Amino acid sequence: MAKRGNHPTLKTIATALGLGVTTVSRALKNDEKISLKTRTLVQETARNLSYHPNRAGLRLRTGKTNVISLVLDTQEQVGSFVSEMIFGITESLADTSYHLIVTPYSRLKDPMEPIRYLVETESVDGIIISRIEPDDERVRYMLEHNMPFATHGRTFTGVQHPFYDFDNEAFARIAVRRLANLGRKRIALLAPPADLSFHDHMREGFRLELRACGLEEVPFHVVTNDNSIEQIRYAVRDLLKQPLHPDGIVSSSGGVSGTGGALLAVIAGLADAGASPGREVDIVTKQLFKKLPIFREQYHIVHEDVREAGRELTKALIGEIDGKPVTQLQNLAVPTDVIWQIPDSLVPVRRED
């Protein structure tokens, strides 16, 4: 092992193996012109020596850092959303020369600050961002400064750029249709914040399907899925106590709810008002997981695969770095069905004779 503070270099590996520095460099890049035996030996030695490329030197030689950044709001739910996104990104990076760094920021401050830093310091080759706005300043800035990027969501400005998005208009239509098929007539939407692009997509799908099914909307604007579990709980409780209260709720998930937080809040609010899911009120929610075993109530979910989003965003970003046509780097995941979550208490138990 290399001594602490004495960082191994290509020459360190070359000397240890009796190879040329160029051969070692090509072997680390998995150049197929180097024999598999030599590539394997070089790569194992590099791992044993804890070798990592010198980023500053790499940028001087190639103009690249081989680093991409995921820029995340620190108020994004910590846990499943972040971990699933990062898991998908690292899966896609596994067979590449790129490495991931996470750059946090607070939505209470200027969201441009981390973008400016990454662009001005030339510390990354590309950037992934989320919480996309219809006319997103970060998108315009990165386009103007020729910084490759991909967005988790779409803008509305007509500017072409790489993105991966979940079709929230389709989600809302599917959710309302399911509630209509259950015989529900008065529907409320727990929506995303109005300044985000997916709010407009979801509201449009919700509005269109309500009209198509002849259902009535029960306005519910006091909270969004960015609010805390406690705030959503009490808002749902108050909503159910109104003379015109919903018998169906569509939860847009996201925010605090990817691990079931918003669903927990909605169910708790119903309980506070003396109602329960599957009886007085049916719930359709968007969730990261196909099953949330911590809940025993009946509800319906549409699965949003955030891990897949991470994989596809990474592919789009690397494609952008490599100069592929932008139209090949845009992907919209369209949900097609609702999963009925049956509580354990209603699952038939097989008895052995």
Successive 10-residue mean pLDDT values, the chain, 353 residues: 60 90 84 90 88 60 80 68 89 91 84 92 93 95 96 92 97 97 97 94 97 98 90 96 96 58 89 94 86 69 92 97 96 91 50 41
Alpha carbon separation from 101 to 75, 104, 105, 115, 182 (Å, rounded): 18, 10, 13, 13, 46
Phi, psi dihedrals of residue 117, rounded to the nearest 5°: -60, -50
Q: Do domains 62-166+307-333 and 168-305+338-346 have the same CATH topology?
A: yes
Q: Mind giving me the DSSP string for 288-344?
A: SSS--TT--S-EEEEE--HHHHHHHHHHHHHHHHTT--GGGGEEEE-----EEE--G
For the full predicted model, state whether its pTM sits above 0.85. no
Please give the Cα distance from 298 to 182 (Å, whole number).
Answer: 13
CB 86 within 8 A of CB 311: no
Q: If DSSP codes are grouped into helix, strand and coil, which group holds residue 244?
A: coil
Q: Which residues lie across from 249 on neighbouring strands?
A: 188, 283
Please give the Cα distance from 149 to 71 (Å, whole number).
Answer: 11
Phi, psi dihedrals of residue 163, rounded to the nearest 5°: -155, 160
Sign, Cα dihedral of 23, 125, 72, 85: negative
Phi, psi dihedrals of residue 102, rounded to the nearest 5°: -105, 125
| Fold category of 62-166+307-333 in CATH | Rossmann fold (3.40.50)
All residues at 6 or more sequence positions from 91 whose CB lies less than 8 Å from its CB, including other chains: 307, 310, 311
Burial 279-307 (b: 16+ CB within 10 A, else e): eebbbbbbbbbeebeebebbbbbbbbbbb
Q: Could you tell me the residue ranges of all domains in the chain?
A: 10-52, 62-166+307-333, 168-305+338-346
Q: Supply the pLDDT for residue 59.
A: 55
Architecture of domain 168-305+338-346: 3-Layer(aba) Sandwich (3.40)
